[in-house]
């Protein structure tokens, strides 16, 4: 039997995911070789500083990651630097030098993926990014390959592990936002700039990639409407619970006629829905498709080892020279068809509205009148007990489906009432029926 040459891997960036990738390829080398029919060898590591505690085996180490991207003795460049500047350059150079590229960089794919994918396709190399969405969950392959016979109508789910970890700890243990965020950083879940995790940017990047795969449209970075979790209070998480809901930070991409909804925001979900029970760093992505129906992919959405598992899957696909379609977004870049995106204001949903009002006779009727006069129908209204010493009382209202434009207009009118404070929470509710 002819011996196939080893596949030579250059790893750029040795943070949590980079190091975990090298460790898997070293520790599981026999298993990987058996599955690929050839050895997969890390031959070059690009690390901008020294890490005396890291073991890169026999790999050459360069301070300049561009040396890895240009190295003639590297077949696959694994970009795990993050960010959209140096990482972008590394990927371009690697592709131009005829190398396959594997990355976990969702920001880069969401922002510059159209050009990079076109370049990779024209150069006849693979560009793989399984690890860019939902860490260890094989969602890219599932949508692109396993569901290739389906028309997908919706992808929706929890796609940021840090945000889910924070919400779970706040809701279940009453812990403070900042304290849990620090823990998520220490555990290697959070982005280098954790603002991206909590303001919805990271989830929006992942949604852009999922929507493109699901609907055969080009990557559209400006498409998602975006709200983060920073404004959520333990009080609102608690009220939602007492009403039979959980608050999750969701990314939703849904076909509606010839257009799509693309949105990332905190959402109340009925507690009996599977998504409501996905806690901690777990991610979960629900896919609705015509042939298969509905499925839910659940798993660790962040963390070095789980994300490296996806990086290695891409490397192994390349080593086997099968398993990927050859088209990173499922169809050739030139055949992707843009889809109009429905503006946030037009998207209809049920709503959770929490107000704080002066406890005076007639205030409830003033509020309900402002809603009713706009045709907004109340599903339930609960007055909560005020905290000791407070003159104001919280009121929680669940509202039947209306578009955001109407809801915002009503909310302005409600807050303009003398008895209503400006501290308001307005959160979409999704029943997924
Ligand atoms: N910071 C990301 C998260 C890592 O928390 O989900 C995985 O993309």
* The pair of three-digit structure tokens given for residue 259, joined into one six-digit string: 């257009």
Atom 7, ligand 1: which residue's CA is nearest? 302
Pocket test for ligand 1, best of 15, 162, 282, 304 (most atoms within 8 A of CB): 162
Rounded to the nearest 10 degrees, the angle between the axes of helix 29-36 and helix 16-27 is 80
For the chain, percent helix, then strand, then coil, each to nearest 5? Answer: 40, 25, 35
Q: Is the CB of 191 within 6 Å of ligand 1?
A: yes
Give one DSSP letter per residue of 220-240, joined into a string: -TT--EE--STT--HHHHHHH
Please, which residues have CB within 8 angstroms of residue 30's CB and are 6 or more apart in sequence?
none
**Rounded Cα–Cα distance for residues 313 and 124 (Å):** 20
Catalytic residue among 141, 206, 248, 288: 206
**Rounded Cα–Cα distance for residues 246 and 176 (Å):** 18
Structural class in CATH, domain 345-429:
alpha beta
Q: How far is the CA of 106 from the centre of ligand 1 (A)?
A: 10
**Rounded Cα–Cα distance for residues 233 and 403 (Å):** 24
Look at residue 2 in the predicted model and tell me its pLDDT: 58
* The pair of three-digit structure tokens given for residue 280, joined into one six-digit string: 């901690």
Contact between residue 426 and residue 411 where contact means Cβ atoms under 8 Å apart: yes
Structural class in CATH, domain 7-135+305-335:
alpha beta
For 139-300, CATH gives 3.30.360.10
Give one DSSP letter per residue of 251-314, joined into a string: EEEEEETTEEEEEEEEEEEETTSGGGG--TTEEEEEEEETTTEEEEEEEE-SSHHHHHHHHHHH
Q: Is the CB of 79 within 6 Å of ligand 1?
A: no
Q: How far is the CA of 197 from the centre of ligand 1 (A)?
A: 7
Q: What are the boundaries of each domain within the chain? A: 7-135+305-335, 139-300, 345-429
User: What 3-state class would DSSP assign to 123?
Assistant: helix
Contact between residue 88 and residue 112 where contact means Cβ atoms under 8 Å apart: yes
Q: How far is the CA of 255 from the centre of ligand 1 (A)?
A: 26
CA torsion 138→143→148→154, rounded to 10°? 160
* The pair of three-digit structure tokens given for residue 262, joined into one six-digit string: 């693309």
Q: Is the CB of 189 within 6 Å of ligand 1?
A: yes
Q: How far is the CA of 143 from the centre of ligand 1 (A)?
A: 20
pLDDT in single tens digits along all 433 residues of the chain: 457 899 999 999 999 999 999 999 999 999 999 999 999 999 999 999 999 999 999 999 999 999 999 999 999 999 999 999 999 999 999 999 999 999 999 999 999 999 999 999 999 999 999 999 999 999 999 999 999 999 999 999 999 999 999 999 999 998 999 999 999 999 989 988 899 999 999 999 999 999 999 999 999 999 999 999 999 999 999 999 999 999 999 999 999 989 999 999 999 999 999 999 999 999 999 999 999 999 999 999 999 999 999 999 999 999 998 656 689 999 999 999 999 999 999 999 999 999 999 988 899 999 999 999 999 999 999 988 777 777 789 999 999 999 999 999 999 999 999 999 999 999 999 999 8
Backbone phi, then psi, for 142, in 5-degree steps?
-60, -50
């Amino acid at each position: 039997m002819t011996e196939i040459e080893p596949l030579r891997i250059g790893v750029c960036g040795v943070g949590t995911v980079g190091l975990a990738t090298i460790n898997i390829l070293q520790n599981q080398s026999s298993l990987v070789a058996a599955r690929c029919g050839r050895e997969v060898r890390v031959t070059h590591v690009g690390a901008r500083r020294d890490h005396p505690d890291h073991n890169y085996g026999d790999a050459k180490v360069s301070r300049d990651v561009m040396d890895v991207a240009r190295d003639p003795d590297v077949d696959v460049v694994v970009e795990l630097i993050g960010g959209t500047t140096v990482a972008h350059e590394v990927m371009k150079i690697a592709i131009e030098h005829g190398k396959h590229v594997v990355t976990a960089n969702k920001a880069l794919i969401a922002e510059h993926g159209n050009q990079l994918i076109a370049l990779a396709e024209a150069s006849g190399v693979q560009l793989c990014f399984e690890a860019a969405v939902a860490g260890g969950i094989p969602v890219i392959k599932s949508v692109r390959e396993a569901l290739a016979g389906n028309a997908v109508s919706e992808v929706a789910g929890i796609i940021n592990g840090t945000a889910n970890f924070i919400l779970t700890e706040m809701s279940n243990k009453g812990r403070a936002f900042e304290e849990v965020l620090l823990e998520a950083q220490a555990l290697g879940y959070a982005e280098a700039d954790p603002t991206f995790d909590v303001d919805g940017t990271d989830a929006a990047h992942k949604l852009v990639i999922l929507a493109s795969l699901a609907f055969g449209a080009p990557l559209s970075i400006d498409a998602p409407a975006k709200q983060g979790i920073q404004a959520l209070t333990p009080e609102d998480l608690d009220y939602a619970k007492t009403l039979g809901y959980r608050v999750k930070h969701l990314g939703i991409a849904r076909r509606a006629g010839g257009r799509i909804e693309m949105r990332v925001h905190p959402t109340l979900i009925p507690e009996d829905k599977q998504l409501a029970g996905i806690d901690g760093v777990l991610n979960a992505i629900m896919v609705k498709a015509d042939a298969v129906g509905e499925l839910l992919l659940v798993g660790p959405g962040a963390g070095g080892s789980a994300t490296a598992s996806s990086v290695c899957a891409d490397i192994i696909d390349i080593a086997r020279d099968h398993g990927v379609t050859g088209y990173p977004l499922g169809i050739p870049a030139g055949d992707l068809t843009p889809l109009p995106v429905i503006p946030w204001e037009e998207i209809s949903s049920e709503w959770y509205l929490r107000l704080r009002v002066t406890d005076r006779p007639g205030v409830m009727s003033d509020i309900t009148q402002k809603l009713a006069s706009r045709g907004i129908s109340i599903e339930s209204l609960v007055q909560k007990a005020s905290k000791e010493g407070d003159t104001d009382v919280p009121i929680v209202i669940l509202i039947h489906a209306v578009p955001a434009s109407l809801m915002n207009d009503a909310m302005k009118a409600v807050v303009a009432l003398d008895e209503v404070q400006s501290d308001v929470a307005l959160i979409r509710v999704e029943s997924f029926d």
